[in-house]
Amino acid sequence: MSFSKEDILRIAKDENVRFIRLQFTDLLGTIKNVEIPVSQLEKALDNKMMFDGSSIEGYVRIEESDMYLYPDLSTWVIFPWFSDNRVARLICDVYMPDGTPFAGDPRGILKRCLKEAEEMGFTAMNVGPEPEFFLFRTDEKGNPTTELNDQGGYFDLAPMDLGENCRREIVLTLEEMGFEIEASHHEVAYGQHEIDFKYADAIKAADQIQTFKLVVKTVARQHGLHATFMPKPLFGMNGSGMHAHQSLFNGNENVFYDENDPLGLSKTARYYMAGILKHARAFAAITNPTVNSYKRLVPGYEAPCYVAWSASNRSPMIRIPASRGLSTRIEVRNPDPAANPYLALAVMLKAGLDGIKRQLDLPAPIDRNIYVMSEEERIEEGIPSLPADLKEALSEMIRSYVITDALGEHALAHFYELKEIEWDIYRTQVHEWERDQYMTLY
């Protein structure tokens, strides 16, 4: 919805809103906020609310810490789970004291990439995200356990799906906050769930992913459960993905659609896909940003490990859903829900735009099950693998001009440093598996 400053002040008064969370996202994708009393709302709406950026991951040094939050008025929403002392939310862009956008703001980075798309004649990038999550039981202190809350499977219902009531309440809460929910169901693994909401333009879609995560975690906690978007919480079970359906529009025209093409795909769509495939290994560090992400990207668990595309086959990285016309789109299947959604959409868009600019050739589709192909067959077909671990992904990212340009110097340097530290901590840690394997053997 579109709100004016006057609308928000009026609604806050009429609905007895007492506090407002000015929300933004750090470089790692974690939601942050500055909470203000309603008496400071007008000041915030005038873009005069300052905060200390030196305390936020990937932002600025202590000697340049003052930053400003500019609320996006279209993101105004009242949280439905506060009955007394009602709380509302505004998602903000981050600005420097001189009035320029902060180069390391993930939302701003996505806006920069969208501006490039606009200069190329595309008025919108539409995105339909599919973030999956697990529900675990909590202990008597409210801490998460590794005990799943059900033993349901794909599309199961109660009594097998014991998360059904929690999932329904999540859906109702999301709808109350303005989401248009298309479907919700149990996923393949025990305790795993998916809720699909309607596509939106890229900025709104990324905002919705962040709001979705907050709602899922909040409602789960009210049911005595812990919701996690960790990509692979349990060995031997499917991990959680965040498939990203995407298309480009020019006004009301879906430029990915061509009714004269056998698959209904335009040259623009094919160039865009070629760009995604060309840069997939380089943007994996952003779309799959944790050590744990690469435990999901292994054969046998319905996660794409191979850089290929198909009109129907679900083993490649890109699939083309059956809908055509305005609904023509590609589904990029490798991202996971640990990704910062603003950065993930930015690098995928940048990769696709590079394909369009350079009119890259799209490889032939792979309509066989890649999981059962031998390594020799994959090499013969020219099918690369996604990076095997975070270290390899970081190395690919840093060598790619397209992806580093999408992030910009500030975000690139800080993200790379944070992830190098994460990898080094993981590399030097002694894990339980090692003790199980080696303690008595040697």
Query: Which of the residues are catalytic?
Result: 52, 130, 132, 187, 194, 243, 314, 331, 333
Sign of torsion over alpha carbons 410, 416, 417, 419: positive
Count CB-CB contacts under 10 A for residue 42.
13
Write out the chain in H/E/C secondary structure. CCCCHHHHHHHHHHCCEEEEEEEEECCCCCEEEEEEEHHHHHHHHCCCEEEEHHHCCCCCCHHHCEEEEEECHHHCEECCCCCCCEEEEEEEEEECCCCCECCCCHHHHHHHHHHHHHHCCCCEEEEEEEEEEEEEEECCCCCEEEEECCCCCCCCCCCCCCCHHHHHHHHHHHHHCCCCEEEEEECCCCCEEEEEECCEEHHHHHHHHHHHHHHHHHHHHHCCEEEECCCCCCCCCCCCCEEEEEEEEECCEECCECCCCCCCECHHHHHHHHHHHHHHHHHHHHHCCCCCHHHHCCCCCCCCCEEEEECCCCCEEEECCCCCHHHCCEEECCCCCCCCHHHHHHHHHHHHHHHHHHCCCCCCCCCCCHHHCCHHHHHHHCCCECCCCHHHHHHHHHCCHHHHHHHHHHHHHHHHHHHHHHHHHHHHCCCHHHHHHHCCCC
Reference 129, options 56, 204, 24; nearest CA is 204
